[in-house]
Structure 1
Amino acid sequence: MSDLLHSALQPAGGTQTPPAVPYSRPTTPGTGSFPVQIGFVGLGAMGGLMAKNLANHRAAHVHASPPILVWNRTQGKADSLFKELGQHKIRVAQSLEQVATECDIIFTALANDDTVKSVFEQFAQTLKHAPPGRQKIFVETSTIYPTLAGELDTLISSIPHCHLIASPVFGTPHVAAAAQLVIVMSGDYRSKKEVAYMLVPAVGKKVIDLGGNIEKASTFKLIGNSMILGTLEILAESYTLAEKSGIAASEVHSLVKDIFPAPGIIRYSERMSNDQFDGTTGFSIDGGIKDASHIRRLTAVHNSPMPSIDIAHQHLITARAIHNSKVQAGKQTVDVLDWSGIVAGTRVAAGLDAFESTHASVVQED
């Protein structure tokens, strides 16, 4: 079905460009004649920016749209977002139970599989005691192992009128802030169609539909992250070789911009070249290790080796171990290590300092 819609929405004549949203628009606004109440759970580096963009867009473009109801494990982030956007765009929920009962569409953006499972179990427990009388859609945007998506689907679909779609996103916090995320979806077709037009262009620039199998979107996200992680490993090895051979990091970064002009690659290259590893403005190394572990598990299940990910996984662990030792000694320069800190693993293996390169002292020979 999605292929037919995709073809039908192609422009006539000339170069055909895939549509940003591969579905026709819903025939009615929202899920009915009532205002759609949106909830957002998880306001971390990505979730906070997604919730902010969604709230701003709906306030500007959707008539009589109620404020988004947000919840975060540490309420300070929810309070900060409320202070920034105001009561007409944001409400702060006091509990997950409030989000589950009051919201029609609920987005989750959480750190790891255990947290995702715990949150959805609380949703399910609440709604089994107070079954909804109208459609409710859950949109799971976290990076999780595919079988967990299947478990969540079974859990949520056992509740009347409830549907789940898996909808992980591609992009750094910088990309999320610019509402340029690439959004992947799998699961219930009507729910995907409903949610897609909420997210584009409010949060992202396009939707990729992977069909009805709920696990496909999570699998696709891990495949995409394997490309990013593999690139990080190559960058780390290249910067380390450059340092050992006396070539300035600025020259390597310039080359990256010339031959790999992708925003994400350039940003990670810039971090490595300048020893900027603050994960509070990027992607934490804990998240990187979690994703690498999921990718390795997936490769084992499908008998499809990825040696580069095995190596990258070890270098991520090495970098985290070194950072943790510096934390214990009170010598860390950042509280949260970004996964571009993977370069610490290759540097140490080459006999260099983990987080402070000597690139700045490289002297060019005549």
Structure 2
Amino acid sequence: MTASKNLNVAFIGLGQMGLALATNLLKAGYPLTVYNRTASKAADLVAQGARLAASPAEAARHADVVFTMVTDDAALTDLTTGPEGLLHGLPKGAIHVSCSTVAPDTNRQLAEAHAKHGTTLVAAPVFGKPDAAAAAKLWIATSGPAAAKSTSAPLLTVLGQGTHDFGDEVGAANVVKLCGNFMLGAAIEAMAEAFTLAQKSGLGREQVYDFFTSTIFAAPVYKSYGKLIATEHYQPVGAAPAIIRKDLKLVLREAQEHLVPMPFANIVFDQLSATVALNKPDVDWASFAERVSENAGLGKR
């Protein structure tokens, strides 16, 4: 199989991230078949020339490479190996590029199912919000068989600003993704605590944010998430609190399996749990920073 625009591509899962990724593949000139449980979400892609499939199996039937981007492990497993899963249609020798944030073991198990079927799975979780996905500015971690990664590499180039490979072990990229989401959560908690201390000491949150993000913390994460925390304005929604709470649960499960104490991860998980319990789905997951202000006796401005 050669890597070229002659590759037939399928994309399954058209949430905010999936829709942006699929759109960029279509704009790059790849023949694209799409599937989403709510078919109406594919309307714009169909209008641009994509073909809409009635099931994951149908979407994968003529694909050289099929991408998946779904919410959780159960959804990924079902659309891969379920009664109408993509494995029932994917041709021998084809590649499944799994972009979802899932447990490393989930992609390992699915890779075994692919091997029995004569197909291959490449893990390719991404870092970045939907606006970064739309602008093809994601950072992508990959792991899996070298030949499959080589074939899918031109497609990934269309989706992001950089791809970093973590070897042949297919679960490795998912470990990186979980570590990254934990580090984001820890940074959000740290900024929330720091800005709240500054506020209660009589300083402006945004003044402190401006200083740090132009000096010793001049990094994209501190600038982007820090702005939300400094202004206490948590729209637009990059990812809902419930979704990232699921990710932190995976982090803690992995930590338990490998006997790694992660007290900060537990703090972030508890903050997200409290945020989800408040039932505010229209705020970004960084809004768990509000729990720090509330605990310090400050209400939202």
TM-score range for the pair, normalised by the shorter chain length:
over 0.9
Match of 1:13 in 2: none
Match of 2:76 in 1: 116
Mapped contact 1:70–1:92 kept (Cα < 8 A): yes
Counterpart of 1:248, as a letter, is G
CA displacement, residues 257-311 of structure 1 (integer Å, 9 cap, x when unaligned): 213222232111111222222353x111111101111111111122222211111
Match of 1:156 in 2: 114
1:219 alignment partner, SS class: helix
Change (3 A) 1:46 1:125: closer
In percent, how many aligned pairs have the same letter? 31
Q: TM-score, normalised by structure 2?
A: 0.92
Matched ranges for 1:169-318 at <5 A: 169-200=126-157, 202-258=158-214, 259-278=216-235, 280=237, 282-318=238-274
Match of 1:349 in 2: 295
- Taking the aligned partners of 1:119 and 1:166, their CA distance within structure 2 comes to 16
Change (3 A) 1:150 1:220: same
Counterpart of 2:221, as a letter, is G
Matched ranges for 1:4-23 at <5 A: none
How many residues align? The count is 300
Match of 1:338 in 2: 284
Match of 1:80 in 2: 44
Match of 1:39 in 2: 10
Unpaired runs of at least 5, structure 1? 1-25, 60-64, 328-334, 358-366
- Taking the aligned partners of 1:316 and 1:29, their CA distance within structure 2 comes to 41
Match of 2:94 in 1: 136
- Taking the aligned partners of 2:149 and 2:134, their CA distance within structure 1 comes to 23
Unpaired runs of at least 5, structure 2? none
Change (3 A) 1:244 1:166: same
1:111 alignment partner, SS class: coil
Counterpart of 2:105, as a letter, is T
Q: What's the CA shift for 1:142?
A: 0.6
Q: What's the CA shift for 1:137?
A: 0.5
Shifted more, 286-295 versus 172-181: the winner is: 172-181
- Taking the aligned partners of 1:222 and 1:50, their CA distance within structure 2 comes to 20
Counterpart of 1:283, as a letter, is A
Runs of 4+ displaced beyond 6 Å: none
1:46 alignment partner, SS class: helix
Mapped contact 1:279–1:285 kept (Cα < 8 A): no
Q: TM-score, normalised by structure 1?
A: 0.77
- Taking the aligned partners of 1:127 and 1:294, their CA distance within structure 2 comes to 25
2:292 alignment partner, SS class: helix
